[in-house]
Chain A
């Protein structure tokens, strides 16, 4: 299957700092990537849809000024958690699919953020 790579896999930061997470599609071009968040023992919740060359589409309740998404190329999307707080500690997962409106979604390895 298609490969999606995410970096870093783990990050620990102090409260108030910003953290950037990268998501790359390694063997296909992705005009659209998706960012999910998963709290312990909960399901994946879609945060935003990242569109190459345009603004991201955020789900209700997700602060766009706090979670900055940049999709600068067809193979790279970044999520920046700005002014992180302990309640932002979570497992952040990106995903992408090779096809347009059909086809399976492939996930990155996930990034576990811990804010002290």
Chain B
């Protein structure tokens, strides 16, 4: 079983819609959860991190964490074509171990 699982997509949403990206993880001891955006040929850039159960909002982005279900999601409101990228979910289980999912490719259609 993979440490971190994501639907590879592609996920297509029209401009202005809400994009919902999901991620599950296997280690119940996981402590920190991150969402990175990666454009083709570029390195990942951090969008959000979340440590506690519930929602965390930052602009158009909302991260949701449910530790009981071992589930973390990212919502992107008012999606823009510039949001088209691969979104990587990352989970930290120890001091240094950061596991990445394979990423979900998002396409926002103008």
A105 touches B43 (CB 8 A): no
A109 touches B88 (CB 8 A): no
- Give chain A's interface residue range (CB within 8 Å of chain B): 20 to 34
A58 at the interface (CB under 8 A from B): no
Q: A104-B34, A105-B34 are in contact. Are A43 and B103 (CB under 8 A)?
A: yes
* A44 partner, pick from B42, B45, B49, B100, beta carbons under 8 A: B100
Contacts of B43 in A (CB 8 A): 6, 91, 93, 107-110
Contacts of B101 in A (CB 8 A): 43
Chain B proximity mask over A81-114: 1 for CB below 8 Å, otherwise 0: 0000000000101000000111011111110100
- Please indicate which of the listed interface residues A42, A43, A91 has the most CB atoms of chain B within 10 Å of its own CB: A43
Report the nearest B residue to A57, measured CB to CB. Answer: B96
A49 touches B96 (CB 8 A): yes
A32 touches B96 (CB 8 A): yes
Which residues 67-110 of B have a CB within 8 angstroms of A?
Answer: 88, 90, 95-98, 100-103
Q: Report how far A44 CA is from B49 CA in the complex, Å.
A: 18
Q: A34-B98, A105-B34, A107-B36 are in contact. List 20 more A-B contacts (CB 8 A).
A: A6-B43, A42-B102, A43-B88, A43-B100, A43-B101, A43-B103, A44-B88, A45-B100, A46-B97, A91-B41, A93-B44, A100-B95, A101-B95, A101-B96, A102-B32, A105-B46, A105-B90, A105-B98, A107-B45, A109-B43
Measuring CB to CB, which residues of chain B are less than 8 angstroms from any residue of chain A? 32, 34, 36, 41-46, 49, 88, 90, 95-98, 100-103
10 contacts between A and B (CB under 8 A): A6-B43, A32-B96, A43-B88, A43-B101, A49-B96, A93-B43, A93-B44, A100-B95, A105-B98, A109-B43
